[in-house]
Structures are given as structure tokens and as C-alpha cells.
Amino acid sequence: MTLESKVPAGPLTEKWSRHKFELKLVNPANKRRFEVIIVGSGLAGGAAAATLAEAGYNVKCFCYQDSPRRAHSIAAQGGINASKNYQNDGDSVFRLFYDTVKGGDFRSREANVYRLAEVSEAIIDQCVAQGVPFAREYGGQLDNRSFGGAQVSRTFYARGQTGQQLLLGAYQALERQIAKGKVRMYPRTEMLDLVVHDERARGIVTRDMVSGKIESHTADAVVLATGGYVNVFFLSTNAKGCNGTAIWRAYRRGAYFANPCYTQIHPTCIPVHGDYQSKLTLMSESLRNDGRIWVPTAAGDARRPEEVPESERDYFLERKYPAFGNLVPRDIASRAAKEVCDEGRGVAHGGLGVYLDFEDAIRRLGVETIRDRYGNLFEMYERITGDDPYRTAMKIYPAPHYSMGGLWVDYDLMSTIPGLYVIGEANFSDHGANRLGASALMQGLADGYFVLPYTIGDYLSRHMGEGPLPTDHAAFGHVESEVRGRIEKLLSVGGARTVDDFHRELGRLCWDYCGMSRERGGLAKALEEIPRLRESFWRDVKVTGAGEELNQALEKAGRVADFMELAELMCRDALEREESCGTHFRKEFQTAEGEARRNDEDFTHVAAWEFTGDGNAPRRHVEELEFENVVPSQRSYK
């Protein structure tokens, strides 16, 4: 199978509007004859469910949380980008497009990114109309802040809770459609497999997480909006429930998995403090607007930060990247932090931390301004660490945060399985090898509000009158029995190690060999050890309780079992990509100054992996990336 990106012809600036005109429409009376399944209720899924229902489609929406309002989009703090140019600082659709392509180290599709930048403005309009309380200037206009990888202020925000407010906007639109009967909501319901028949996605098999009941759901199209997979690292900034099961099961049913090695390590998280640690907490990138990052010049300096004189501090980002300073993109900031810690100059538990200091900002702007901008973040930091950032520098360290990789989709956001769409973080589409801050919210809402609702109609219109496959069809029965078999298997192992114990070990392997920097030997080792760990999991895991009841151990076990497979693909992809790009840093491929060295000749492409059966090596396919509007260059933030 060849990968057809289906990027429309024509000049970049006209592709999306021309394509919208060329897409087949479904007339309003016919929309109500179609059923669409949406898995996930975050920014992408919630927005898509509400918008499709408004258009007249019948939607079934699933989430594992007890309410769609709790999807992990809610935890995004800093903001959402849009090229409104309200600050009159030279922003434009093209500049947002350019910054995003460059930020992604020239490993994304030009046409997708341009469309994203194009719809960014409509997203802000929509959210304001929904009653999202964005920050305002005294004159009543919307306020902006700066984010990494950009030299303009284009980030819209609602205190440090932008994700929450955008998600609640989408959630409220969704609840409105639930009340109208256009969306049927299935909370506490987890998708455990995809049903494919006649080479088309026909529905899903789910588990009711309260009763344990396994059920089939049919539809004319299936949309996965299930988020990212960095919980493969065990410790990450993702919510505990975030998992890769939906996309992994789809991969096993024929959807290609693109660029699994592109995982983002966020530079500003609270450092690890003990073995029992269950997750890492992010401190918004917006803090880098005013905070200065430093470590002592001498290794092993044990003084408190305020006791270290100015002359003995190394503001390493400002030193290495004077043009962007503390606002370099995330991958660069993370690697620089790792570097100074590797030199023994780190400052927190185990020497794995750097300072993020507001002393200068407080002197320059006053405590009140800082409190106004970051008050809730400072409080959160103090609650977790017991340290008061108004008095002493914060300690931060990078942590897994976001996956740019995901299921491969074409320009219409359809996977390699016809009728299976993938939106938001679950797909691979827009961020290349590194995502810029405040762009995840933009992409999730772009896909959900303004892209999928157009493109899905084109597919549906081609299947008018066919109707969904009945759930008593053998295709559903077959998948249901596989799902049941898997659950029984997990419950019957009766081993001696807990699921978390295995997950922690998997996470450590991934972090050590496929984390912030990677190299051939380590990846090869991971590819030996992960299958060994997986085998030991199926031999020695202990899952208590039964299948037909609320059973959190069982939920976790199924997700970790899938992470055990996904981790291997991630490492394999990292091994095969013999270059450094964005967040994928291979030690063998770096410039003399230690920056990522791309190999454009051999790797200006998307790697999309095809499942070929258990025990077989997956097949690597390639989608060449063509740059017609920007010239890939060595990224420079100096």
C-alpha cells in the first residue's frame, strides 16, 4: 500500500479553501441518517462531537473518565496560539505556519500546518463566543503572551488554566447536544478494540468500566481522539489514565503508526522526588516569559540559590541562544538542561534539576504583576514542593509531555483504514519532530471544530444508504471474543508482580534508552529488553478481582500490556531514523556545538509503520515530505 497524503494541488494559501469546495457534501436531511463514533472527549473529540451533532449527524461519544469535562486537555496551562496579530508585531498566518514548520524541525507536512495556522483565528472567535473567559486588557481587548519558538506575542490565555477553559467550552457545547439527543454520551467506557470489515472501520468494542460489560457499537465512521502515549514512560505529565490502547488496537487492525519516536520532553516540570512518585507535574512554559533559567557555574555547589552570587551563575540558555534566550523551543531547552546536569551542575534530588528564577522579574515588575501573571502556578508549585517561588528559585527538570507521533492520517485526517479518522494528539499530523508551546490546544480544536466536520462528509457521502454494519454481524462477534479472551488472560496469570511495578520498569527502559537522547547501542539494548519484559509481564503479572465489575487493576493491566508493545515500536523507529531532528536527538548525529544534525537527504520523510502480525517485524513505509514554500535549514535560535 502506498501512502497517499491527498494534499490538494494549487498554491499553499488556496489549498484548504479549494479542497473544502471540492469535498462532497451531505445534505442536511441526510446527515441525520449517519451515525459517527467518537472516542475521546478532550479538545479534539469534544469539539468534533459537538460540531458534528450541530450539523445534524448522530454521534456516540465515549470517554474513560466519569464526565467528558475531565479529559486531559484540561491540564494545559499556558495558552493557545492564533495569528490574530492583535499586538501589531508582525504576525500573520504565514508566520505562524513558518514558526510551526521550523519548530517541528522541518518534519511536518506543509499543507497541514498552513491549514492549522489558517483556522487558528476562527478558533479564538469560536471560544470567545462560547464564553471562554480569556485574559483581557483594560480596554476590553484580548491579551496575549509570548511562548517558546516565536518572536511575536500570539498566545491567548485564561490565567494558567487555558486548557480547562477551552475544554469546558467544548464540553458545554457537547452537553448542549447531549440534551438535544444528538449525542449519546458513554462515560466510564473504554474502547478496547476496533472492528474492521471489508477494509472499512465499522465500529468499536468497549468495556463498561462500572459493570465490566463488553459491548459492540456500530457506526458509519469511527473517529479516534484519544490523545497521546507518553505514559509509556510511566512518569510523565499526562494524566494517570492517558493511554495508547485505542490507537494501538487500531494499529494492530491496519492503521499505520507514524513517527512513534517523536515524543516531546517538556523542559519545565517539577523534578522527581522519590521512588513512589506516580506522575510529574508541569509548570507552564509561560513561566519562561519572565523566569530566568540557570545553574551554578561550579559543579556540586550546595548553597541555596539566593546565596549564589550573580557572577557564579550560568544562565545557560541566555548564554547559548542570545536571540531567543529562555524562550527557545522545548526540545532545545530540555537538552540544554540535561547537558548541564550531566556536567554535575544540577540542583535538585539526584542532581536532576535547574533553577527557574523570578528574582529579576519581581524586581523589575513587582510582586503584584508576577502574582497576577503566574499566581496560581506559584501556588501549585508551593503546594507540591513546600517552597515559595516568590522567595526562592523554582527547581525544574524535563519530563515526557506530548507525543508528536501517532496514527498516520492523510490531509482529510483519515487513517490508512477507510472510515477511521484520527484527530488531536492521537494523530501525527501537524507538529513534525517537535511541537511548539500553545500549539496542542490549537491543533486539537482545529481538527475538531474546523477540519474533521468538513472532511468526514466526503467519506460518508460515498456510503449513502448503506447503513452501519449490525452488531450481531460476525465481524463484531469475532472482535468481542478476542477482547474477552484478552481480559481472561490478564486475570488468570496470577503472578507475583503488580501492574505498576512492570509499568515503572518499562518506563525506566524507555527513559534511559529512548528519552532525551538516544543512540544506536542503547536502542538496540531496549529492543532486546522490552520483549523480555513483555514476556515476563504475561507470565508474572498479578491482576486482582474479576472482569464483570469495576476493576481499576484490570484497566491498568490492559493499557500497560499495550504500552509494552508500543514501546518497542517507538524504539525501533528511533533506531531507524539515523539523524537528529527536533525532539529526536541521536547522539551520533550532532553538530560541533551539540545541536541536532538533520539528514535531509535520507530522512525528509514520515516513517509510517504497518503491523504485520505478532512476532513479525513491522513494515516501515515512507511518505516523502516536500517543501515548496519554506527552505529547510539548520534551526537557529542563536
* Candidates 258-266, 277-285, 588-596, 622-630; binding stretch for other proteins (CB under 8 A): 277-285
By CB under 8 A, residue 572 contacts other proteins? no
> Which of 33, 197, 253, 273 touches other proteins by CB under 8 A?
273
- For other proteins, which is the closer residue by CB, 159 or 320? 159
CA gap 415, 194 in Å, rounded: 13
584's grid cell: 529526536
Report phi then psi at 67, rounded to 5.
-150, 145
- For other proteins, which is the closer residue by CB, 176 or 473? 176
By CB under 8 A, residue 134 contacts other proteins? yes
By CB under 8 A, residue 240 contacts other proteins? yes
4's grid cell: 497517499
Cα angle, residue 91 at apex, residues 88 and 92 outer, rounded to 5°: 125
The runs of H, that is alpha helices, within 224-329 are 245-252, 316-320
By CB under 8 A, residue 137 contacts other proteins? yes
- For other proteins, which is the closer residue by CB, 215 or 339? 215
Per the annotation, the verdict on 330 as an active-site residue is yes
By CB under 8 A, residue 245 contacts other proteins? no
- For other proteins, which is the closer residue by CB, 273 or 508? 273
Interacting positions 436-465 with other proteins (CB under 8 A): 449-450, 453
By CB under 8 A, residue 352 contacts other proteins? no
- The rounded Cα 69 to chain-centroid distance in angstroms is 18
> Which of 62, 97, 114, 171 touches other proteins by CB under 8 A?
171
By CB under 8 A, residue 548 contacts other proteins? no
By CB under 8 A, residue 139 contacts other proteins? yes
To other proteins, the closest distance from the beta carbon of 43 in angstroms equals: 13
**Residue 201: strand, helix, or coil:** strand
Whats the size of the chain, residue-wise?
638
CA gap 188, 178 in Å, rounded: 16
Catalytic hit among 330, 435, 572, 586: 330
- For other proteins, which is the closer residue by CB, 11 or 181? 181
Site for other proteins (CB under 8 A): how many residues? 81
How buried is residue 325: exposed, middle or buried, by Cβ count under 10 Å (0-12/13-18/19+)? middle
- For other proteins, which is the closer residue by CB, 216 or 238? 238
- For other proteins, which is the closer residue by CB, 79 or 260? 79
By CB under 8 A, residue 500 contacts other proteins? yes
The residue assigned the cell 469475532 is 478
302's grid cell: 550546595
CA gap 78, 286 in Å, rounded: 6
By CB under 8 A, residue 176 contacts other proteins? yes
Report phi then psi at 584, rounded to 5.
-85, 100
Torsion of CA 264, 266, 269, 275, to 10 degrees: 30
By CB under 8 A, residue 178 contacts other proteins? yes
* Candidates 100-108, 178-186, 337-345, 585-593; binding stretch for other proteins (CB under 8 A): 178-186
By CB under 8 A, residue 519 contacts other proteins? no
By CB under 8 A, residue 90 contacts other proteins? no
CA gap 52, 26 in Å, rounded: 12
Cα angle, residue 415 at apex, residues 412 and 417 outer, rounded to 5°: 125
Interacting positions 410-429 with other proteins (CB under 8 A): none
CA gap 48, 507 in Å, rounded: 32
By CB under 8 A, residue 386 contacts other proteins? yes
Interacting positions 28-87 with other proteins (CB under 8 A): 47, 50-51, 54, 65-70, 72, 74-75, 84, 86
CA gap 444, 182 in Å, rounded: 22
CA gap 119, 470 in Å, rounded: 37
Show which residues are catalytic. Answer: 330
